[in-house]
Amino acid sequence: QVQLEQSGSELKKPGASVKVSCKASGYTFISHGMNWVRQAPGQGLEWMGWINTNTGNPTYAQGFTGRFVFSLDTSVSTAYLQISSLKAEDTAVYYCARRVVTALNWFDPWGQGTLVTVSS
């Protein structure tokens, strides 16, 4: 079945970087784009953007430019989210979620989430 498996929780100091991985299985990786979604503690869902897994072209939502980078390793069907210059307000659960249809962007399935905690 289609599954997205994310890397484990991270504890980082302010100013550090983190790289979250999302390994896909059960489908052809390059046939579906990959979204990234942030959920701060006790808050709702915030779309960060997506990456075209066929071309590698990323699209970043407003507020997620500069310190956030989406990347791929298609040889291992894995998408990555890297966040640099971490701040306390980056503390959140980060989800990857598959783009179901090329032309339309609803999300299914989702990875289990990766908690990134930024604290000195």
Task: Give the Cα separation of 109 and 74 in Å (integer).
Answer: 18
> Which positions from 13 through 72 interact with another protein, judged by CB under 8 A?
35, 44-47, 61-62
Q: Which one, 49 or 86, has the nearer CB to another protein? A: 49
Report if residue 7 touches another protein, rule: CB under 8 A. no
**Those residues with Cβ within 8 angstroms of residue 55's Cβ, 6 or more apart along the chain or in another chain:** none
> Which positions from 72 through 91 interact with another protein, judged by CB under 8 A?
none
Q: Which one, 27 or 107, has the nearer CB to another protein? A: 107
> Which positions from 93 through 112 interact with another protein, judged by CB under 8 A?
95, 97, 100, 104-112
Which H or E run includes 81? Answer: strand 78-83
Compute how many residues bind another protein; rule: CB under 8 A: 20
Task: Give the Cα separation of 95 and 79 in Å (integer).
Answer: 11
Q: Which one, 8 or 74, has the nearer CB to another protein? A: 8
Give min distance, CB of 92 to another protein, in A: 13
From the number of C-beta atoms within 10 Å of its C-beta (0-12, 13-18, 19+), residue 88 rates as exposed
Task: Give the Cα separation of 49 and 58 in Å (integer).
Answer: 8
Sites of contact with another protein (CB under 8 A): 35, 44-47, 61-62, 95, 97, 100, 104-113
